[in-house]
Structure 1
Amino acid sequence: MNSRLLAKASVCALAASLAAPQALAQGAVEAFRDEILVTGTKKAEAENVQDVPLAVTAYGAEQLDALKVRELQTLSYAVPNVQLEDIGTTRGVANFSIRGLATNSSIPSIDPAVGTFVDGVYLGQNGGVVFDIFDLESIEVLRGPQGILFGRNVTGGAVLLNSKRPNLQEFEASFKAAVESGLRGTGLNYYAMGAVSGPIVQDTLGFRLTAYYNDDNGWHKRYLGGPNLPAVISAAGGTLAALQGLGFPIAAVQPDAFEDHGKAETWSVRPQLLWQPTDSVSINIKYERFESEGDGPSSQNHPGFIQPPFDPVSGTTPAPVPSVNFLFSAPKDSFTFSIDQPGNYDVEADSVTVQLDIDVPFGDGRITNIFGWRDSLGTSEGDIDATPFWLFHSFASNEHEQISNEFRYAGRFFDRMDFTAGFYYYTADHVYQENRFILGGFRNLFGGGIQDSRNYGVFGQIDFDLTDDFTLIGGVRYTNEKKSVELANITLNMAPCSIAAGTCTIHFTDEETWKNVTPKVGFRWEPRDDLQVYAHWTEGIRSGGYNFRNTSVVFPIEGFDEEEVDSYEIGFKAQPADGKATINAAFFVNDISDMQREINLSDPIAGVVQIIRNTADATIFGFELESRIFVTDNLIFTGNLGHLDGEYDSVLFDLNSDGVVNDTDLTLEIPRLAPWTYGAGFIHTLDLGATGSLSTRFNWSHRDDNAYTDNNLGILQGADMIDASIALTTFDNRATISIYGQNLLNEVTHGGETQLPLTLGGGSFAPLNKGRIAGVEVQVAF
């Protein structure tokens, strides 16, 4: 494609750019010594992360380089009580969870519990979120509801991605390239990124141009004959010919034959202009074009249980029965899988962000306006039965366009009151098509939906210093949201049709408006310069809505209501020993009303039925601890610990499909609630004199098993992740070469685990994540 050639050429051109000198970070230890500024409080100026009365984990540009972060999943095990994974069904779909509040499906009409914001612009759907990230100034992970300042759909927290901006004073350029391998005989992964920035008019008008390219040739092995081919051949009569007579899709194959799978090609170009006509006015305009295409999910079918089909007479699903060794299933602790449909995905997106900042004398404050537009289109095909037979294949098309604008003011009065207030508007159009091809095309199903959304909000927060060391915090937000939909039941449209073209039979239309007032009350106390204690109570709202993926002929199509969270939190931030140690802790309780859940049920007609309902009220409580200790000027120890516990207070829906809502449902584990997450590591920099410096980094992280499905049959297994790197930086800090490894124990993890009906072979659909990665990276600054 010409666009991909352009992206490759842009990276090469940026790499060859001649510019004024720009130094890299002086070793990994110095990167973690630097002060990290965060924007999550939306005050006139960014604040030190240690000064904000919130549970925040933040990484600056140099830290992200040291950690080799090129996608958000890299940080998934680095932050306590946080999961930032791709769901795996369709590449790039966020399945984020913070403090046990999460989405658990690739249905695009579901609003997230963890909001993602890029340069202040909210991404209004989960699709297209978990892709490559590059040329960032910082990443902020805010834990706990953030509804006063960020609005809806941040009941679990928020992830803020802040891009680097143009340089108005001097020219600078940087280039980095890497090659990675899974060390298992599959394809290599290549990536390159270049950025150049500088003044067009000194101190007044500047530009920044960033280009990124990634060519991943596939980490996984797609076994062409099935993981248990010898046993299958024996069961079929002892010969491959007998197996072919049963419809086996491979013409001729060896038991160990495979092809690379998980291939992806991604590119992006991001030009920016920054105009600062006066010292008090600035306008930053950013455009980004993004494209990515590759294979479908690398999915396993796990043995261990068979889910009987849904019984439309009784309206229940019988309890699962133990399965024999299903011949095309794969061990859960392996990367082995065999699928007849390699699948594919193709995502493209355009976005524009315009930020206006005006410093005003009123309260020595700042007026900020952030306008955002984003238009994205994604298509995907996948093998959902995860076997080498055509039992359940799917196709999906997801088109989404959004426009948002936030206007706010932030200032300080009487030298003791910080005031932030603003108005927010958002509108989106969403078109979704899903086609299912069951049993070799014997049964084909078509449907989806169209949704129009709009919401607006007015918000304000005051931080009032009663004394020099005690501050009261109060805030409130009013939100008005409206959604209208047209939905086509996928199971009831058996003839080919198009949602976008209007040829599918529509089975449900509706329109709903929700209005809310959400408050926040808290305090911050600083008894010493190196200690802050804070506490607050706040409410958060997750939007109500509709299900694009209606496949049930028993459960009626209907909307679901909002999810409400009351959060109580107390924490402290300390930097004892003259700032050589940092210790942050938070303790919290979340009371959740009308919890939104995506109930996964196997179904003999549709394959899988996903019902979205307000299923329960629940309570989740836990704590988090993060620490960083400078043992010497050249050695840092880091650690984190997180704990979650939760239970249902009342249940409104039959979670385990036994036909009744009773105490058995109450005893089920809440999905995505990993009881323990923890980790420890160190970073060391060795001064090599005239040669430069050598930085060594080692980190170990752990996450417990946690339920994936509401009936607790699908389990996401825990893992111990070990990452390490060695980086040599030249004496002038202009070049670094690194050798690094991620998931060095080669732990097997999955994006989900959904039960399949007996009519499709039983077992489960479980898309794999990558395992061990080893890489070499070169980074140069000019």
Structure 2
Amino acid sequence: MKKKTDLKTTPTLIAASVIAMAAATTQAKELEEVIVISQKVAREQSTQDIPTSVMTFNEGMLKDAFSVDLVDVGKMVANAELNNVGTYASYPNFFIRGMGVNGSTRTNDPKVGIFVDGVYLGYNAGALASTFDLEAVEVLRGPQGTLLGRNVTGGAVLLKTKRPGDEFAAQVEVEAGNYNALTFNGSIEGPISDSVNGKLAIIKADRDGFFEDNNGGTVDTSINPAGMPETGTGDKVGMDLLILRPIVSWQATEDLNLTLIGEYQKNDAGSANSQNVAHNCVPIPGVDNRDIVCGEGSQFLAQTSFGYQPPEDKYDINHDLIGYTEVETKSLTLDANWNLDHGVVTTIAGWRDVEYNSSTDFDGTPFTIFHFNDNKETQDQTSLEVRYSSTFSDNFDFVVGVNYFDQEYTIGERRNFFVTLNAATFSETQHSTLGVFGEMNWSITDALTLTAGARWTKEDKEIDIGILGTCELDFSACDNVVSNQKDWDDISPKIAVSYHINEDTMLYASYTRGFASGVFNARATTLDGIGPTDPETVDSYEAGFKSTFWDGRARFNLAYYLAEYDDLILFVNNPDENSGASLINFNAGEAEISGWEAELSLQPTTGLRLDASVGTVDPEYTDIQFFDANQDGVVDPADNALAKTWDFQKTPELSYNIMGTYDFGLSSGGSIITRVAYSWRDDYMTDLYNKHWLQQEAFGLLDASLAYVNPEGNLRVAVFGKNLNDEEFFDYAADVGTLDSARWGGMPRTYGMRISYAF
């Protein structure tokens, strides 16, 4: 067994080593002010001035962290798990404060919303893309229903693209690393005319997969019903990413600016890396699976029935389907701002088109036990938001607006189940929402500010679905098409009070209500399973303290939160004799989640910067109404009593990160910059039934980099490493009905060199 890193001492060693480097330095400058991008008000606001828990990363912070995508950003935020689902490449599964969607059923709306340049992404495929040329990434923890809308009961992640300037500029980054990684990032910008500026950003990234697929293993071929087909070998999950992002900004008049942002993205990522889990445990619904002793029963597993033994190496897999993932997205965003004497009118119009095709070996064995082969998905969305924000007076500002969102998506899934069954399902979902919102800030005194707002939401969903097994394998027709429609409306209020003890210290308390619409089930195997569920609501309370001290060289923020969920929407895979496994959506009842979050930033000396954040999550089901665990039409109260004690999915009770950056000024000019970062996640359950063989053990990731910057500041040569302690972890795990258990995801030690030059 691999020896684990000494996780208790690692953070202390990191902090000590970074502080030691700065022993002889001079007095430091103040910490830079970080401006939020989520509040939609007419004036700029610092993260230190808003009554909510938020972390914003500007362009410099993203570059210093060698962030590639939002997964890297998540490592810098406590109480946030910004990971890929694992079963499908380039598809997020975000959790914040214990709230998220643990799975890949597309009709299950995410509970952490992703917004790009003010546009909500209704279909998250491709949303993990590059952080190159972003002005800022912001992570908001907790419900954000007033300004950002429905389905953000866990939180929100906002991305803002860097706008073109009025002077010629260009930058180039070239990066090479292990796993044959090669990345080229470049941008060029400048004036096109006296009133028009333009920009083009290009991202091209290639990398082999971390997992080597050998299409083999120890098997008893005499009882292998599928044979050992010659499908070749390969690696999973790789990257072949291209992003083109043209931007045109037109200063039409002194007061009117229009920016048009286009993006084309294509990513051939390869198939998912399902890794079969060797065990002989019996998953029992309604039983505390945390205490089951494996070996007392038997499952119809590849290793017990076919003599298969999964590889011991974390990054070796044996599949009989190489598979693929092909993602293509196109988008246009118009951001128009009309500056009036008394306020600003903002219009954000968005369009996005997605094609997502995939084929994946779900069981993780060299047998055709359970495959999702040749799936086809499309999505088309349009949105429009018009808002007016005004700093009405020195002590009063507000924003009011209306938002409309519409999307249509189709999902075609095929399942290969023990070779003989090759079934298909096809669904088409139409979904529209209308929201009217407003929020105001009233400075009652110089120290005391009242914030109040609300959002009214009207939502409509309609699904046409061909039940699994009734559709042609090419999705051309279905024998049994069922239609269902449901609409909901909701009012979500917010109220907050902030009190400035002095210019640099603020206390705040807030109440926010969040709303998530009911969901249909695109993987339903019965008519009753289509849904929809009832909506989910949450009442969230937060109290916090934000401070800047030590002559502006230190910040400390502390927050306590309590979220009470009603009609909590959960999802679970249950055994199904016709399809191997069927997804069930249900309203689980009530839950309560509470915890603490703290962030500390220090600039103790010139060149030295220390950052740390820590978060705790304490979730519990307070009044659970569970589904029929034994599928016999009877809900056993004993099952519900036991389920109240179960841990939440993908929710570590403790998470933290610590980062140290030291800028060594050279006597000849230029500098050497070192950075060390460590992030930690407590152990957590990955499934609803708390099966201990699918539990993720606690782990910590160590990253480091060393960079040279020339005297002019426009050339940087750096070497970097991620997960240098080579910790083994995974992103997702599940039982495939009663067939097999598998894990997905995880990233080994990676390292490389990056050279960047700005003209």
Same fold (TM over 0.5): yes
Deviation at 1:413?
A: 1.9
Q: 1:623 aligned to 2:596?
A: yes
2:456 aligns with one of 454, 478, 482: 478
Q: 1:345 aligned to 2:325?
A: yes
Q: 1:279 aligned to 2:279?
A: no
- Give 1:270's aligned residue: 245
- Give 2:20's aligned residue: none
Could you tell which deviates more after superposition, 350-359 or 405-414?
405-414
- Give 1:590's aligned residue: 563
Structure 1: distance between partners of 2:715 and 2:102: 42
- Give 1:417's aligned residue: 396
Deviation at 1:208?
A: 0.6
Q: What does residue range 72-111 of structure 1 map to in structure 2 within 5 Å?
A: 72-111=70-109
2:381 aligns with one of 389, 394, 402: 402
Deviation at 1:147?
A: 0.5
- Give 1:547's aligned residue: 521
- Give 2:17's aligned residue: none
State the secondary structure of the residue aligned to 1:518. strand
Compared with structure 1, are the counterparts of its residues 201 and 390 closer, same or farther at alpha carbon in structure 2 (3 Å cutoff)? same
* Contact 1:310–1:602, Cα closer than 8 Å, also in 2: no
- Give 1:178's aligned residue: 175
- Give 1:289's aligned residue: 264
Structure 2: distance between partners of 1:211 and 1:398: 26
- Give 2:235's aligned residue: 260
Q: 1:509 aligned to 2:492?
A: no
Q: What does residue range 600-611 of structure 1 map to in structure 2 within 5 Å?
A: 600-611=573-584
- Give 2:16's aligned residue: none
What is the letter of the counterpart of residue 731 of structure 1?
P
TM-superposition CA deviations, 1:206-252 (whole Å, max 9, x none): 001111101112222223322xx3xx4xxx4xxxxx66987551669
State the secondary structure of the residue aligned to 2:331. strand
Could you tell which deviates more after superposition, 45-54 or 117-126?
45-54
Q: 1:209 aligned to 2:223?
A: no
- Give 2:530's aligned residue: 557
Q: What does residue range 14-53 of structure 1 map to in structure 2 within 5 Å?
A: 33-53=31-51
Q: 1:190 aligned to 2:167?
A: no
Compared with structure 1, are the counterparts of its residues 308 and 686 closer, same or farther at alpha carbon in structure 2 (3 Å cutoff)? closer
* Contact 2:456–2:492, Cα closer than 8 Å, also in 1: yes
Q: What does residue range 649-660 of structure 1 map to in structure 2 within 5 Å?
A: 649-654=622-627, 657=630, 660=636
Q: What does residue range 376-391 of structure 1 map to in structure 2 within 5 Å?
A: 376-391=354-369
Q: 1:727 aligned to 2:707?
A: yes
TM-superposition CA deviations, 1:613-641 (whole Å, max 9, x none): 11221000001011111121111222111
Structure 2: distance between partners of 1:655 and 1:244: 35
* Contact 1:654–1:661, Cα closer than 8 Å, also in 2: no
TM-superposition CA deviations, 1:353-376 (whole Å, max 9, x none): 0011011112xx111000000011
Structure 2: distance between partners of 1:670 and 1:744: 29
Deviation at 1:429?
A: 0.8
State the secondary structure of the residue aligned to 2:486. strand
Q: 1:219 aligned to 2:210?
A: yes
State the secondary structure of the residue aligned to 1:517. strand
Q: 1:641 aligned to 2:597?
A: no
What is the letter of the counterpart of residue 510 of structure 1?
N
TM-superposition CA deviations, 1:589-620 (whole Å, max 9, x none): 00000111111113343122111111221000
What is the letter of the counterpart of residue 294 of structure 1?
A
Deviation at 1:294?
A: 2.9
- Give 2:192's aligned residue: 200
Compared with structure 1, are the counterparts of its residues 370 and 335 closer, same or farther at alpha carbon in structure 2 (3 Å cutoff)? same
Structure 1: distance between partners of 2:439 and 2:715: 45
Structure 2: distance between partners of 1:506 and 1:372: 35
* Contact 1:31–1:62, Cα closer than 8 Å, also in 2: no
State the secondary structure of the residue aligned to 2:83. coil
Compared with structure 1, are the counterparts of its residues 515 and 388 closer, same or farther at alpha carbon in structure 2 (3 Å cutoff)? same
* Contact 1:588–1:623, Cα closer than 8 Å, also in 2: yes
Structure 2: distance between partners of 1:320 and 1:724: 41
Structure 2: distance between partners of 1:622 and 1:208: 43
What is the letter of the counterpart of residue 734 of structure 2?
T
Identity fraction in percent: 30
TM-superposition CA deviations, 1:556-607 (whole Å, max 9, x none): 4321111101000001111111111111111000000011111111334312
Deviation at 1:705?
A: 1.5
Q: What does residue range 424-573 of structure 1 map to in structure 2 within 5 Å?
A: 424-440=403-419, 442-490=420-468, 492-493=469-470, 495-498=472-475, 501=476, 503-552=477-526, 556-573=529-546
Structure 1: distance between partners of 2:28 and 2:400: 36
What is the letter of the counterpart of residue 86 of structure 1?
N
TM-score (norm. length: structure 2): 0.90
State the secondary structure of the residue aligned to 1:47. coil
- Give 1:300's aligned residue: 275
Q: 1:118 aligned to 2:116?
A: yes
- Give 1:8's aligned residue: none
2:729 aligns with one of 743, 749, 758: 749
Structure 1: distance between partners of 2:272 and 2:404: 36
State the secondary structure of the residue aligned to 2:668. helix
Q: 1:707 aligned to 2:697?
A: no
State the secondary structure of the residue aligned to 1:271. strand
Deviation at 1:32?
A: 10
Segments of 5+ residues of structure 1 without an aligned counterpart are: 1-28, 182-186, 237-241, 312-318
* Contact 2:684–2:697, Cα closer than 8 Å, also in 1: yes
Structure 2: distance between partners of 1:394 and 1:418: 52
- Give 2:587's aligned residue: 614
Compared with structure 1, are the counterparts of its residues 606 and 30 closer, same or farther at alpha carbon in structure 2 (3 Å cutoff)? farther
Structure 1: distance between partners of 2:231 and 2:92: 38
* Contact 1:307–1:755, Cα closer than 8 Å, also in 2: no
Structure 2: distance between partners of 1:467 and 1:702: 42
Structure 1: distance between partners of 2:637 and 2:745: 33
- Give 1:668's aligned residue: 646
RMSD between aligned residues = 2.4
TM-score (norm. length: structure 1): 0.87
What is the letter of the counterpart of residue 95 of structure 1?
N
What is the letter of the counterpart of residue 182 of structure 2?
Y
TM-superposition CA deviations, 1:684-735 (whole Å, max 9, x none): 1101132410000001111011122111123233320111000110110010
* Contact 1:532–1:574, Cα closer than 8 Å, also in 2: yes
What is the letter of the counterpart of residue 535 of structure 2?
E
- Give 2:718's aligned residue: 738
Structure 2: distance between partners of 1:564 and 1:530: 35
Compared with structure 1, are the counterparts of its residues 305 and 52 closer, same or farther at alpha carbon in structure 2 (3 Å cutoff)? farther
TM-superposition CA deviations, 1:471-529 (whole Å, max 9, x none): 01110111101111111221x3275251xx4x113442111110111101111111111
Segments of 5+ residues of structure 2 without an aligned counterpart are: 1-26, 287-291
State the secondary structure of the residue aligned to 1:283. strand
